[in-house]
Amino acid sequence: MSYMISCECINCSACEYECPVRAIAAAPTQYSIDASTCVECDGYFSVPRCKSVCPVGACGPTREGYLFKMHALAHRGASPVVLRRPTELKP
């Protein structure tokens, strides 16, 4: 499991340097979390740091159904979209 950032993100960048393992980075349309790097702040904070600092509640546990829906919308040309990494967007 890892955390993800939903489309509510307003690109404030508050979470980027708060992440203890640097799993958060800017993506083409908004910030995203590298699921393979995120450790849910286990061993660092009692509450995931990105969740604590995000002003709009965009950081939360990964919801596969949500990501699947966002990918489907992206294929139809919708923007902004939520992706874990730009490389996950397939033609």
Those residues whose C-beta lies under 8 Å from the C-beta of residue 51, and which sit 6 or more positions away, are: 3, 59, 60
Applying CB under 6 A, which of residues 1, 25, 39, 71 lies at the interface with ligand SF4? 39
Q: Alpha carbon of 10 to those of 25, 31, 36, 62: distances in Å?
A: 13, 9, 23, 18
Helical spans, DSSP H, in the chain = 49-53, 64-75
By CB under 6 A, residue 74 contacts ligand SF4: no
Candidates 27, 41, 67, 70: give the one binding ligand SF4 (CB under 6 A).
Answer: 41
Which one of residues 1, 28, 36, 59 is an interface residue with ligand SF4 (CB under 6 A)? 59
38 binds ligand SF4 (CB under 6 A): yes
Tell me: does residue 58 bind ligand SF4 (CB under 6 A).
yes
